[in-house]
């Protein structure tokens, strides 16, 4: 489902655990999303992959 302005109410952001990933999470927070649950990480041969769910609070 989306909001009236077309934003998704739930997003799962994933990517390498680096500055770019943190910037994407920060941007989502600036857009009004809030963290949902704990972050998750996994180790792969190519490095560490992080995941964080964000949701838009009910308005």
CB-based burial, 26-47: b 16+ in 10 Å, e otherwise: eebeeeebeeeeeeeeeeeeee
What residue segments make up the domains of the chain, in order of their start? 10-55
Tell me the per-residue pLDDT of 10-53, one tens digit each, with 9 for 90 and over. Answer: 999 999 999 999 999 999 999 999 999 999 999 999 999 999 99
Please report the pLDDT score of residue 59 as a whole number.
Answer: 60
Q: Would you place residue 55 in the very low, low, confident or very high pLDDT band (cuts 50, 70, 90)? A: very high
Please report the pLDDT score of residue 2 as a whole number.
Answer: 80
- DSSP letters, 1-59, are -B-TTS-BSEEEEEEESSHHHHHHHHHHHHTT-EEEEEEEEEEETTEEEEEEEEEPPP-
What pTM does this model have?
Answer: 0.88
Please report the pLDDT score of residue 36 as a whole number.
Answer: 98
With 80 as the cut, is the pLDDT of residue 1 above it?
no
């Amino acid at each position: 489902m989306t909001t009236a302005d077309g934003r998704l109410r739930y997003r799962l952001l994933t990517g390498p655990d680096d500055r770019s990933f943190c910037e994407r999470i920060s941007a989502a927070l600036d857009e009004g999303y809030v963290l949902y649950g704990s972050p998750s990480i996994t180790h792969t041969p190519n490095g560490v992959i992080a995941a964080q769910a964000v949701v838009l609070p009910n308005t």
